[in-house]
Amino acid sequence: METGREKIERMKELAGILKQAGKAYYQENREIMSNLEYDRLYEELERLEKETGTILSGSPTQTVGYEVMEELPKERHEQPMLSLDKTKDVEVLRSFIGKQNTLLSWKLDGLTVVLTYQRGRLVKAVTRGNGEVGEVITNNARVFQNIPLSIPYQEELILRGEAVISYSDFEKINEEIGDTDAKYKNPRNLCSGSVRQLNNEITAGRSVRFYAFALVKADGAEFHNSRMEQFRWLEQQGFEVVEHRMTTADTLDEVIRYFAEKVQHYEIPSDGLVALYDDIAYGDSLGRTAKFPRNSFAFKWKDELKETHLLEIEWSASRTGLINPVAIFEPVELEGTTVSRASVHNLSIMKSLKLGIGDRITVYKANMIIPQIAENQTQSGNIPIPEHCPVCGGATSIHGENGIETLYCTNPDCQAKKIKAFTLFVSRDAMNIDGLSEATLEKLIGCGFIHSFADIFHLTRYRQEIVEMEGFGEKSYENLMNRIEAARKTTLPRLIYGLGISNIGAANARMICKAYKYDLDKIRHTSVEEMALIDGIGAVIAGAFVAYFQEEKNQRALDQLLNELELEQPELSENTQKLDGKVFVITGSVEHFANRNALKAVIEEQGGRVTGSVSAKTNYLINNDAASSSSKNRKARELGIPVITETEFLEMLNQ
């Protein structure tokens, strides 16, 4: 039996683990343990605090969330935003309801935001933050999909709600993000990143919606002492309110059944329900505990657990060198989908679960989304930790920090660490494989599916594994394969640029190809002296280019790649040099081309050059708004440089 001292020591240990897990989840958008494990440790800490009658300073049971990062202005809330006491037991919820009429609504899984309106105008939006202090995101809130910027009510209105992104928008947006270090793991993480952008233009493109769930202040408005009436009043003001149903203890089962059936196909992320007394005065009279209000209660869905057997541990490498264990198990049906793999996150979690091949394990979906291992019933613990990286074969090493063990590849030349090279290869100006974002490439490389550029064109070998990856599915897989197939037909300048040769940009690649009349054999066997004669190249760039092709491994890799590609052969005629020696500047939006880069490519293919600023050497400024008073237009007029539209440029080209 534990002594009081042992219990206190265990409480200190639990507090440290929970704080670290909370910081990772809320501030760094990563997970170091499953939700189930977090809840188990949290409940153990609560039990020990009750048994000892002691609550340590800074205990996770007494604090609400974590401090926000220093990215946006901070502001203290007029009223603290408390967490809700919670249960997974329907009878506990029924006991809370008692004889009261109670509103049951979705517990949305996004980012809580407080809105303030004055004189009918939105004047402030602040995130929940740590419950006491949040971040000011007013400009971002103004571009949420459904927030009214002006309302009929003219007095000060303060309300709370959840900023969320739907599952369908999450999938669409996640596929389009090509410049992020990693795809977002779930809609909540994407929403958090979207709401807290410094540039609200980014927020505007993320389809963030706001659902009101609490009215804090609206002096003079009549609600007849009813939360239901508050919700109706907010709807009249133009707000979308979280979906809700009135219930009593007697009708609770029926109402929960309604939500339980709907959540299977509900588009908005939800991790449970919220019960709120309809009687405003009664609820307010109950006050609050140190952490929870007494007028509301959270009901968390019971996780659907399925038993299965562990088949193997797949070791997945990332661009940082981190190698994470992924559990592969016999497929089971969970929350309406087939699941056969789950991230174990790190060595510490794998060891704590004592995983072994053939072990009988139970799995679930955290928040009905992310597959996790709940328990290992066999605990054979026979998984060997690899001494070599699954991607490059280099030596591995175990790193320990704050009690968390992780596995790393020590080889600096590991393909998984060269993610940037592959990202460049599939970029718009190179192979233009839309859908192969840096995050997706990291997953595919980490699983050992891609070792070279040519491997990208053989991903059909891993169809089933890719379909089952987080963020993928049949449709995403088919879309990606179609884009890869379309990329097989390309141009030599795109290929040269995509190889990632030092100092060779898209423009230089076009210049080199044009100078060698698109003869790849001459290009790959040229000399520094010969290439340095090309206008705009020089000895430094030529040296790097020639050195690249002097590496036998690079020549072999190019040969493998050429077996996968069909290079378009441009027509070499005198028209190719129609703009030879001409210098252009492009400004403003374009209409006849996909973007400015596309227009720039045409100019360079025709022998012209494009610069970023107007000078005495500029021959033409291309701007569809010729009457614009922009600085470039003014400078062009001062220097007597013609300002032409795209249409005039195309006429010039076709003469």
Enumerate the active-site residues.
Answer: 107
The residues, ordered by sequence, that sit 6+ positions from 260 with a Cβ below 8 Å of its Cβ are: 301
Rounded to whole angstroms, the Cα distance separating 6 from 140 reads 49
Rounded to whole angstroms, the Cα distance separating 435 from 480 reads 6
Residue 150, CA distances (Å) to 120, 122, 626 in order: 5, 6, 37
Q: Which of 6, 73, 81, 87 minimizes the C-alpha distance to 43? A: 87
Residue 579, CA distances (Å) to 155, 589, 624, 635 in order: 64, 22, 20, 22
- Joined together, the tokens standing for residue 553 give 């491994």
CA 510 to chain centre: 34
β-strand pairing of 583-586 with 566-568: unpaired
β-strand pairing of 102-108 with 244-247: antiparallel
Q: Which of 2, 3, 18 minimizes the C-alpha distance to 403? A: 18
String of DSSP letters for 522-557: HHHT--HHHHHTSTTTHHHHHHHHHHHHHSHHHHHH
- Joined together, the tokens standing for residue 575 give 């028209």
Residue 164, CA distances (Å) to 208, 211, 617 in order: 6, 8, 52
* Residue in the block written with tokens 């460049």: 424
Q: Note whether 442 and 419 are within 8 A (CB).
A: yes
* Residue in the block written with tokens 């517990």: 107
102: left (phi over 0), alpha (psi -120 to 50) or beta: beta
Residue 610, φ and ψ in degrees, nearest 5: -120, 130
- Joined together, the tokens standing for residue 175 give 């596929």
Q: Note whether 551 and 584 are within 8 A (CB).
A: no
Q: DSSP E strands: which ranges in 356-498?
A: 360-366, 370-376, 396-401, 404-409, 489-491
Beta bridge pairs of residue 317: 323
Rounded to whole angstroms, the Cα distance separating 247 from 95 reads 13
String of DSSP letters for 133-163: EEEB-HHHHTTSTT--SB-S--S-EEEEEEE
SS3 content of the chain, % helix, strand, coil (to 5): 35, 25, 40
What is the biggest distance separating any 2 CA atoms in the chain, rounded to whole angstroms? Answer: 94
Using the CB atoms, write b or e for 606-624: b if 16+ within 10 Å.
bbbbbeeebeeebebbbbb
Q: Which of 148, 158, 150, 151 minimizes the C-alpha distance to 219? A: 158
Residue 433, CA distances (Å) to 22, 59, 144 in order: 37, 49, 30
